[in-house]
Amino acid sequence: MSATTLAGNLFIITAASGAGKTSLVKELLAKDSQVKLSVSHTTRSPRLDEQEGVHYYFVNDAKFIQILNAGGFLESADVHGAKYGTSKSLVDIGLQAGYDVILEIDWQGVAQVRNIYPQATSIFILPPSVEALGERLFGRGQDSAEVIAKRLAAAREEMSHVVEFDYVTINDSFEVALQDLMAIIRATRLKAQTQLQRYASLIQKLT
């Protein structure tokens, strides 16, 4: 699908586990009705507060591989021992309907997405420090100390890829980070290429 056929914008938001990405995206969705979140497929087990089709589509390995082999994923990655994938058809539907679609994905998927949507805007959310990241992970009360230690070790590798992104925000203050995300989305909507397509009839009359 080419960029000229899309009515909405595609945003990729990435962060190390515990950096606050999920909370920020949730608040962003509540404040902007034109933004929709793409729900990913995963092979990991749901947490107590997670719902099928809302947080993820939970599938077993066999089903995941079946979708992958059929070319149904826009991107896929192995993260912390589980598989994750983004449905290409669901993203296409959202963009064609004029929504700005957000992908909450690992850094590994960014290059895959850009192969199909080179115009996608990528954003990396950083924690204010490694110590703060550790405190947030322990504060969740969802994982063992051993699992958290592994996540912190992986976080440094994940965050080293920040240089590959278009925008970076540091989630030290939740409200500031949220305003950063909203500003990025608004600026992207105002790009000439987007506006020329959206207001083609008006611009034709004006020029």
pLDDT band at 6 (very low <50, low <70, confident <90, very high): low
What interhelical angle do 130-140 and 145-159 show, nearest 10? 140
pLDDT band at 1 (very low <50, low <70, confident <90, very high): very low
pLDDT band at 139 (very low <50, low <70, confident <90, very high): low
pLDDT of residue 198: 82
pLDDT tens-place string over residues 49-81? 888 988 899 999 999 999 999 999 999 988 878
In whole angstroms, what is the distance from residue 111 CA to residue 148 CA? 27
Q: How many CB atoms lie within 10 A of CB 148?
A: 19
Tell me if the domain spanning 3-38+101-206 has CATH number 3.30.499.10. no
pLDDT beyond 80 at 14:
yes
- In 108-142, which positions are buried (b, 16+ CB within 10 angstroms) versus exposed (e)? bbbebbbeebeebbbbbbbbeeeeebbebbeeeee
Contacts of 204 (CB under 8 A, 6+ apart): none
pTM of the prediction?
0.84
pLDDT beyond 50 at 4:
no
pLDDT beyond 80 at 143:
no
Question: What average pLDDT does the structure give for the chain?
Answer: 89
pLDDT beyond 80 at 21:
yes
- Per domain, the residue ranges of the chain are 3-38+101-206
pLDDT tens-place string over residues 24-43? 999 999 999 999 999 999 99
Mean pLDDT, residues 103-130 taken together: 92
pLDDT of residue 17: 78
